Structure 1
């Protein structure tokens, strides 16, 4: 027999609460299903839409020429460039003959160190010696005639005072004395001239230095002003360094600026130099600034006339960009590059080229670092053409891959070896 407590009793209030909750649950269920349907449609259509967009872009790109772009980078070492230089003696002079004759004797040879005024060679001039002897004899005659004329003029002046001779005769004797005086002076000057010419038979060094050339030997015929250089004398304890600085670097050159010089085959050795003067004007044929530097060479480590490379220190130059050489297009108007705009159109820009480093070229004007410049552009490229830019490849880091793979290889082999041993 069932008791009344085993079955719940439904009252009017409980029935009313059940009827109120049922529509709310149905509405919540419907909303949840609607949200799920919308989310399913959304997440299902979005990938399709992306795929369609990628497909359209791929179809569009396949119809356009694909290009690789690069960006202009700052030129490395723009202010530290090595410039070709020429090393010259501080003072040098060719030595010629001022008198004709035969070389009697020479006292120096190539490489000899000489002092100022040192005797280098002697020229034998027999004709010149005879002329000097005759001039001296004529001077003796003129002096003797002058002495007689002086005595005669003095005596006739005394006789004129006592009316022993006429005034006309006394005047003639005075005139003859002046004539003999002039003739004697002329003979003296002739002797002095010939003695100075005779002194040219002794070839002496005009300054201290080194004999770098010797083009004569004993017995050679020497012709005055014949154009044959007897010796070449150079002062090499101090050297001049001549360098042509490019126009874009000319503003960074200052008097007193330091520099480093290196010789071929001795790149590890640096010789200090200093700027002493500049030409002050750009050469129109080469567009360079001639600069002269001083270099001490007391130890004689650098040979005059050598080719060298010079690096100017603390160059104050502006920011110079560079591009790969394969980006240039040479047109009749000058060099151009192709720049891809944001809309995919190409614009040809005229550029100004600086120094050529082989694989890269300095660009002085025409491009900016943010410009996308086409590499290996076709000759038919023109302004307004549409192109497709290939994505830039990110540089890989093989060192990291190797570091990851190397420990894996021995771990894979070890189990195999253990199984072989165990078997």
Structure 2
């Protein structure tokens, strides 16, 4: 207790001595000495306060950023989700042609590429024939000889008439020359002289006529030799020795054919006519050799349908170098590239039935366009579309009844197939 009292007494005494005041006495202001040359500076704010304010601003800004950014992001996501939910997603399909049928197979008639019936041009009897059925002949080869006695007599008569006409013309020429001389001497009249000159012209014309008749008869005598007009094979013979042959009677002596290349005639139905063009490949099969196929080619078409059958006559050519194919037979011609003109088809689920008629929803620039269509045949799940859409259009597979023109839609991506997934993995 005494020690504590002594500590307090000493402490108070030290304070009084330091301040020069008694305890409880207010201090008096001390007069500062006046220095007129020294300017007093105002008190400055400590730099710590500015740093504190800047730090607080950063804290507030960080708090605002951390709090507002998620809210803004969530609000933007909600707006996008709302817009996506408001835009319907549709699956589309393009119209496709109907499934192609099997290639067209038609019966065809095989004929030689060149064929001619040989007739007589002169009357007579068959003296001899030199080639028979199935013989190969060359162009100009002698086939048969005819005995033409009547033509020979006509030729002799014609030659005699030609000689007579030439003699008459020679006499008329001498007479006309003399009358011209007498006319110059004025011993005959001009009329008589002109008559002699005209008679000379008449005799000369008679000579030309007789000469032409002799030439014609010589050619008829030449027709007594029946020759081949081209290389080929004799497919028919209708003459024998001693047989009477009359020109112009339609009596066939030989039939000659060139069969190293054959023509095949087929009648194509109307719905295949437009797809059958020149140069199109074809295949020929024969009933006696169904396993063997011959390459053929369309070389020409009639260009018009037969009114009676509504078919197009088409000519094909097939090579026959070894004479394997017999001319005159028939075969089956397969036109591989000839197909009927198929209409576009769509699934039945794409149809929209309204008062305007059947319609489909076509997507154009992510907007719906309703189009009226004309329906063909109905195959159940598939229908034919005759008009209204093209193969390049995108048609909604299952349209909604609320669809109208201009509605914005989103096209769903088609599902990838197994092959596409494998390709993407590579």
TM-score past 0.5 threshold: yes
Which structure has the larger Rg? 2
Partner secondary structure for residue 144 of structure 1 = helix
Partner secondary structure for residue 334 of structure 2 = strand
8 Å contact kept, 1:79–1:314: no
Give the superposition deviation at 1:138.
Answer: 0.9
Aligned match of 2:330: 307
With structure 2 as the length reference, what TM-score do the two structures score? 0.55
Residues 247, 174 of structure 1: alpha-carbon distance in 2 compared, 3 angstrom cutoff: closer
What aligned pairs does 1:370-409 form with structure 2 within 5 A after superposition? Answer: 370=381
Q: What CA distance in whole angstroms lies between the structure 1 residues aligned with 2:209 and 2:169?
A: 12
- Determine if the alignment matches structure 1 residue 368 to structure 2 residue 379: yes
Q: What CA distance in whole angstroms lies between the structure 2 residues aligned with 1:287 and 1:165?
A: 82
Q: What CA distance in whole angstroms lies between the structure 1 residues aligned with 2:250 and 2:256?
A: 16
Aligned match of 1:24: none
- Determine if the alignment matches structure 1 residue 226 to structure 2 residue 254: no
Partner secondary structure for residue 111 of structure 1 = coil
Q: What CA distance in whole angstroms lies between the structure 2 residues aligned with 1:171 and 1:221?
A: 53
Q: What CA distance in whole angstroms lies between the structure 2 residues aligned with 1:97 and 1:134?
A: 23
8 Å contact kept, 2:276–2:337: no
8 Å contact kept, 2:129–2:240: yes
Give the superposition deviation at 1:192.
Answer: 1.9
Aligned match of 1:43: none
Out of 218, 222, 229, the residue aligned to residue 206 of structure 1 is 229
How many residue pairs match? The answer is: 254
Q: What CA distance in whole angstroms lies between the structure 1 residues aligned with 2:186 and 2:301?
A: 82
| Stretches (4+) displaced over 4 A | 74-77
- Determine if the alignment matches structure 1 residue 132 to structure 2 residue 143: no
Aligned match of 2:79: none
- Determine if the alignment matches structure 1 residue 255 to structure 2 residue 255: no
CA-atom RMSD in angstroms: 2.5
Q: What CA distance in whole angstroms lies between the structure 2 residues aligned with 1:251 and 1:316?
A: 9
Give the superposition deviation at 1:368.
Answer: 0.6
With structure 1 as the length reference, what TM-score do the two structures score? 0.55
Aligned match of 2:146: 123
Q: What CA distance in whole angstroms lies between the structure 2 residues aligned with 1:224 and 1:246?
A: 43
Residues 173, 251 of structure 1: alpha-carbon distance in 2 compared, 3 angstrom cutoff: closer
Any gaps of 5 or more consecutive residues in structure 1?
Answer: 1-73, 321-364, 372-423
Aligned match of 1:283: 306
Any gaps of 5 or more consecutive residues in structure 2?
Answer: 1-96, 344-375, 383-426
Partner secondary structure for residue 305 of structure 2 = coil
Q: Which string of whole-angstrom CA distances, capped at 9 and with x for unpartnered residues, describes residues 143-196 of structure 1? A: 112112212221232233233544444333323222221221221122122222
Q: Which string of whole-angstrom CA distances, capped at 9 and with x for unpartnered residues, describes residues 67-87 of structure 1? A: xxxxxxx99983324321111
Aligned match of 2:210: 187
8 Å contact kept, 1:262–1:309: yes
Q: What CA distance in whole angstroms lies between the structure 2 residues aligned with 1:164 and 1:366?
A: 106
